[in-house]
Amino acid sequence: MGDNVVLKIMNNVSEDLVAYSYFPSDKLPLECLQVAEYSFFDWLVVSGAGSGEPAAAIVKQFINQEGGNLISSVVGCDTKTSPHLAALANGTISHALDYDDTHFQHIGHLSAAIFPALLALGESANKTYFDVIDSFLIGAEAAILVGETLGMEHYKAGFHQTATAGCFGATIALCRLMDLTQTQRYHALGLASTMASGLKSQFGTMGKPLNAGIAASNAVKAVALSELNFISNTDGLGSSQGFIETHSPKKTHLSVYNRSAELPFRFDKVSYKLHACCHGLHAAIEALIIAQSENYLEPNAVLEVHITVSSSWRGVCDIEKPQTGLQGKFSYHYITALLICGYNTAALDSFFDNMLSNIEINNQMHKVTVSFDENMEDSYASVIVHSVGLPEKSFEFDLKKNQIAIDAYPRLKDKAESLLDRDKTKTLYRLLTAKDNCSARKIGNWVRTF
């Protein structure tokens, strides 16, 4: 493929993002909208649950020191702050537990990067529940498109798509929510392209949830500046020395990008987290749960567990000897040992620091080996278990095929009731059920009660 053709394709990405921002509300796919509502519910739940985490306490201390106009709410704060600081805090808080949704085509977490930005400006502009959901879906689809365009090369190079592609999605969502002019929308994208950032080297630290906060906060700043007619390179995403060229230099994968095709809607393929750890572990966990149901994970009988997953998870979830609970969220060895020892991977306390000193868990971790297959899908895992008295057996699970987002609400409700106290859960149900009377400001009032 010639360089001129590549650049032509790249130059259309910004146009498609702006086109998304003008997509008619009455033409949006109903199933995608329903799933977006589930994600809003799930995002609020994990935000509330994460509000007491150490990273949340620090980021709240930071925004209180910074001050700002008292406009936007922060989860677990009595007072309000400026929109970009609220977006920074809420993005960090909502990703602090690493319990929020993942989209494998985007290669990252959509809700944690986009909803904080929408709540921050939606509250100040008194936007409705439907405004937020509608704008979120548009922003999510834009982020998926950017994530796919940047490709796995971007992720493997060390960039965190939640923060990078997520920033563009949050920007487009805000452009729609705040009804910017077309020119302002292009300038907002240009400004986002020079601010979007986030590295995988932060995985296993507080820096990972901060990446989601950075995406949301940068989107708020990009849109606020463009509303004031701040000028940028309007194709900072796709132009020469733009974001794509500098952050995903192997551009041949862009040949799959077809400008003439209709704008795709793929948010309904999102995967919800039903375990309190990195999504790269979830397919393996589900396979191990099947093995457990067939009595293959008895602590005294397990001889060896071999897990095979996509090479995409190398350097992400392969912490062989985690030293903290947070590192345990990125360890196949640790989650396998948890299940062998009878612990619940959906429970927050399974990933507390004190669990790392558990002798039995450490003994079981030694029985686990992991290999990576570059031809395997990110959503798939194969687990082979060798136990005393049983024939060696393989167990498999594919998140894309075996967990459907539109069917997830009952399990999301169970998750909510395990993470939040009854009164807060009931209040949230009432708020989100009364859609016509719900607003960003009412949601803001709810998040401040933590």
Burial of 207 (0-12, 13-18, 19+ CB in 10 A): middle
Residue 261 pLDDT exceeds 80: no
- Residue-wise pLDDT for 36-53, tens only, equals 999 999 999 999 999 999
Residues 52 and 126 in one domain: yes
The Cα–Cα gap between 403 and 103 comes to 12
Residue scoring higher pLDDT (261 or 110): 110
- What pLDDT, on a 0 to 100 scale, did the predictor assign at position 143? 97
Residue 54 pLDDT exceeds 70: yes
The Cα–Cα gap between 37 and 133 comes to 6
Residues 339 and 443 in one domain: no
CA 419 vs CA 275, 285, 348: distances in Å: 12, 20, 8
The Cα–Cα gap between 10 and 25 comes to 27
- Residue-wise pLDDT for 294-308, tens only, equals 999 999 999 999 999
Residues 197 and 322 in one domain: no
- What pLDDT, on a 0 to 100 scale, did the predictor assign at position 240? 85
Contact yes or no for 52/96 (Cβ under 8 A) = no
Residues 265 and 293 in one domain: no
Residue 347 pLDDT exceeds 80: yes
Residue 254 pLDDT exceeds 70: no
In this prediction, residue 90 has a pLDDT band, given cuts at 50, 70 and 90, of: very high
Contact yes or no for 265/29 (Cβ under 8 A) = yes
In this prediction, residue 251 has a pLDDT band, given cuts at 50, 70 and 90, of: low
Closest CA to 302 of 402, 385, 239: 385
Residue 213 pLDDT exceeds 80: yes
232 is written with which tokens? 């940028």
- What pLDDT, on a 0 to 100 scale, did the predictor assign at position 275? 92
Contact yes or no for 443/44 (Cβ under 8 A) = yes
Q: What are phi and psi of 289, to 5 degrees?
A: -65, -40
- What pLDDT, on a 0 to 100 scale, did the predictor assign at position 253? 45
Burial of 208 (0-12, 13-18, 19+ CB in 10 A): buried
The Cα–Cα gap between 74 and 5 comes to 45
Residues 86 and 212 in one domain: yes
Residue positions counted in the chain: 450
Closest CA to 261 of 12, 11, 30: 12
The domain that contains 309 carries what CATH number? 3.30.1330.120
The Cα–Cα gap between 52 and 56 comes to 6
Mean pLDDT of 390-412: 93
Contact yes or no for 371/296 (Cβ under 8 A) = no
What domain range includes position 365?
A: 279-402
Q: What is the mean pLDDT of the chain?
A: 92
Residues 215 and 302 in one domain: no
The Cα–Cα gap between 377 and 190 comes to 33
Residues 232 and 339 in one domain: no
The Cα–Cα gap between 115 and 119 comes to 6
Residues 161 and 54 in one domain: yes
Closest CA to 288 of 343, 325, 330: 343
Burial of 293 (0-12, 13-18, 19+ CB in 10 A): exposed
Contact yes or no for 75/310 (Cβ under 8 A) = no
Residues 45 and 83 in one domain: yes
Closest CA to 322 of 352, 347, 345: 352
Residue at token pair 């024939």: 391
Residues 209 and 334 in one domain: no
Query: For residue 265, how far is the Cα from the chain centroid?
Result: 17
Overall number of domains in the chain: 2
The domain that contains 245 carries what CATH number? 1.10.4100.10
374 is written with which tokens? 């570059």
Closest CA to 447 of 114, 111, 86: 86
pTM, 2 dp: 0.85
Tally the C-alpha atoms within 13 A of residue 108's C-alpha that lie toward its C-beta. Answer: 43
Residue 128 pLDDT exceeds 90: yes
Residues 209 and 329 in one domain: no
Residues 200 and 341 in one domain: no
